[in-house]
Amino acid sequence: MSLSQKIRRISKDLVAGSYDDFLTNYSDEIKTAVNQLREMSKKYDDFISSYGSEDKFGEMIDNTLGNYDKNVPDMIDSWMSRHETISINDIVSSAIRNQDRFGTEKQMILYAIEEVYNEFKDQGL
């Protein structure tokens, strides 16, 4: 086996371990985040209407998540706007990609989802 093949194999093993570890260590929180996203996704059009436009709605998400990586608000808005089932795999894979790209801990995605969810609840949405 060549060196590049060994490196690819190790990389795949690390990602698989990271996925499994995150899923095992945060299973309850991940399930809660999926349910929160599904609930918000069902009400997405109502959210847009209450803010007057998608841009204003996006600003609210950006303001709520101002302390997170730049891509996190867009990621959450994208999940909400799809009007389709959000899976555990969507969240876990995105959290791992975000960690690999920006160095942010995977669970921060879960916290961001919870913050947006709580903001909507606080506003009565």
Dump the DSSP string for the chain: --HHHHHHHHHHHHHHHHHHHHHHHTHHHHHHHHHHHHHHHHTHHHHHHHHSSHHHHHHHHHHHTTTS-THHHHHHHHHHHT-S---HHHHHHHHHHHHHHH---THHHHHHHHHHHHHHHHTT-
Confidence at residue 13, expressed as pLDDT on a 0 to 100 scale: 43
Amino acid (1-letter code) at residue 110: L
Q: Which pLDDT score, from 0 to 100, does residue 56 have?
A: 82
Q: Give the model confidence (pLDDT) of 61-99 as tens digits.
A: 888 898 888 889 988 988 888 766 789 999 999 999 888
What digits encode the pLDDT tens for the residues 15-69?
445 888 888 899 999 999 999 999 888 888 888 888 787 888 888 888 889 888 8
